[in-house]
Amino acid sequence: MAGLIGVFGGTFDPPHLGHLVLADEACHALALDKVLWVVTGEPPHKPGVPITPIEHRLAMVRAAITGDDRFELSRADVDRPGPHYAEGTLRWLQEHLPGVPLAYLMGADSLHDLPDWHQPERFLARCERLGVMRRPGVEVDLQALEARLPGVAAKVRFFDAPLIGVSARGLRRRISLGLPHRYLLPSEVLNYIEAKGLYR
């Protein structure tokens, strides 16, 4: 059987050290061959929030993952019409990578909401594994979740990662206010942001 491939979706506006640490830990904990970074075109859960054009976000993710052969940029949520639900992302990937088992990566807070996602049963059926990063203060009742979405418990693999207290929103704010941020992002991403004058 082909090795497991991780699927890591996000807006990545911008990508930062928290994202890289999560992807790195997921590779280790779930023995992933690769992590596909799926840059969301139109995030369905962030309607009305202005986001940076997709070309810049793709370029920043490319810059962030350069040099790590395990990481790959995916256009799964760019080369198909939105809105971009995770079920559709996995369907697109399965059409383009037939027979490859996929591990969808998420935080424990998202796992809690999974039964309310778009077509959760189909989403779950397309996943070989759900790689779930534990978050402090977030308790997941797997039994209760299993009652709402049968089959979920058997697919979940929890993992821990060093906590990096950075968010894309916080970074956008810091950059716009001229607050320190250079050590919160890979230098390649910082260079891109500065060259293009983003988030000012």
Which residues in this chain contact ligand ATP in the complex, by CB under 6 A? 10-13, 18-19, 22, 106-107, 164, 166-169
Tokens of 159: 């993992």
Considering the complex, state which of residue 18 and residue 88 has its C-beta at the smaller distance from ligand ATP. 18
Shortest distance in whole angstroms from residue 134 CB to ligand ATP: 10
Considering the complex, state which of residue 11 and residue 89 has its C-beta at the smaller distance from ligand ATP. 11
Shortest distance in whole angstroms from residue 18 CB to ligand ATP: 2
Residue reference for tokens 């894309």: 168
CA-closest candidate to residue 161, choices 128, 140, 131, 139: 131
Considering the complex, state which of residue 2 and residue 179 has its C-beta at the smaller distance from ligand ATP. 179
Shortest distance in whole angstroms from residue 98 CB to ligand ATP: 26
CA-closest candidate to residue 56, choices 22, 11, 25, 92: 11
Considering the complex, state which of residue 6 and residue 18 has its C-beta at the smaller distance from ligand ATP. 18
Considering the complex, state which of residue 113 and residue 143 has its C-beta at the smaller distance from ligand ATP. 113
Strands (E), the chain: 5-10, 34-39, 71-74, 102-107, 129-133, 156-159
The backbone torsions φ and ψ at residue 74, rounded to the nearest 5 degrees and listed phi first, read -120, 140
The Cα–Cα gap between 158 and 68 comes to 23
Shortest distance in whole angstroms from residue 13 CB to ligand ATP: 6
The backbone torsions φ and ψ at residue 11, rounded to the nearest 5 degrees and listed phi first, read -80, -35
- Residue nearest ligand ATP, CB atom distance: 18
CA-closest candidate to residue 161, choices 107, 88, 98, 93: 107
Shortest distance in whole angstroms from residue 1 CB to ligand ATP: 27
